[in-house]
Amino acid sequence: MKRPSIIVQLVHIQGPFKGEIQEFRGDKISIGRNPSCSLTFPPDLAIVSRNHAEIIREGNRFKLVDHSANGTFVNGKRVKETFLKDGDVLTIAKGGPKVSFLTQTREEDVVEPETGPPEQEIGTPEPFPPPESLQPRPRPKEAPDLSYKEAMVPLVIQYGPTLRSYKKVPVTIGKHPNCHFQMDHPGIMDRHAEIFFVDDQYWIKDLTSQQLVTINGVPINLGAPLKPHDEISLTPEGPFFTFLGGGRLAQVEKRAAPAPAEPPPEGPSQEKPVFQAPQKPEKKGRSFFKKVLKR
């Protein structure tokens, strides 16, 4: 059985967890250096109080309550109590870590207690499915010829310290000043990608004609739909994003592949034997004949 659940997502824009996305459930999220906090900052980050702030759920709204000495800021303004909305940027103490506040409604399974032992059916057991790592990863569904118009749906893009909100799509991404979201990155072209909305889904389109944009490592062309937790790469060298659902893109840092293991050191070197040419035997026979001839 599935029931709707509101998930709080904190996207770390600045600070020790930069690039990470943390999800929280429940009615209270505590923030501070205390190890018991829901969001625990390192103990040496003294600018953050041990019990710095809380995000408390009231119905379908979330209220921020500050308990700190150095203050908590929402969109640059210091607050003691305020209700948060999607896209708000929280600064934990002046000059401290920054996080973006987002919420998402998700259908989740609810386990109900069983009234009795389940009946066992006698028969041939079904084979176990192969591990997920061995299952082929499906290619993103592409649209052969999508015609789309302007849609009044929200879009939030977080890239580094920049957080931009849009009330409608399509939104173009690129270096050109005419793009809605300008991105200064060596691999980004003038008109690089476009986010649009059709068939009740957010889609992304590659505008480079070079198959630079990928979803979960698979290149896309004319357009492909976005699903929550999809990994988007605008070029092979980045930038990289995660689609959080509800029209929200958050930049993430791609973890470098582990370096190949170095070969084990060889054993103690042994000196190679020096080849010595065999010594010629003394020519005793020749000296003997000389003595005989002299006689």
Distance CA 121, CA 10 (A): 46
pLDDT given for residue 267 in this prediction: 53
The CA-based angle 223-87-256, given to 5 degrees, is 60
pLDDT tens column, 34-47: 999 999 999 999 99
Cβ atoms of residues 250 and 21 within 8 Å:
yes
pLDDT given for residue 5 in this prediction: 81
Which amino acid would we find at residue 176? H
Distance CA 237, CA 105 (A): 32
pLDDT given for residue 293 in this prediction: 46
Q: Exposed, middle or buried: residue 187 (CB in 10 Å: 0-12, 13-18, 19+)? A: middle
Q: What is the pLDDT along the chain (295 residues), one digit of tens a residue?
A: 666 788 898 989 889 998 888 889 889 999 999 999 999 999 999 999 999 999 999 988 999 999 999 999 999 999 999 999 988 999 999 999 999 998 887 776 655 555 555 555 545 455 555 554 444 445 455 454 456 788 999 999 998 888 888 999 999 999 998 999 999 888 999 999 999 998 889 999 999 888 899 999 999 877 899 998 899 999 999 899 999 888 899 988 775 555 555 655 555 555 555 555 555 554 544 554 445 445 5
pLDDT given for residue 225 in this prediction: 92
pLDDT tens column, 244-278: 888 899 988 775 555 555 655 555 555 555 555 55
Tokens of 107: 């259908």
Cβ atoms of residues 228 and 243 within 8 Å:
yes
Whether the model clears a pTM of 0.85, i.e. scores above it, the answer is: no
Q: Three-class SS of residue 180?
A: coil
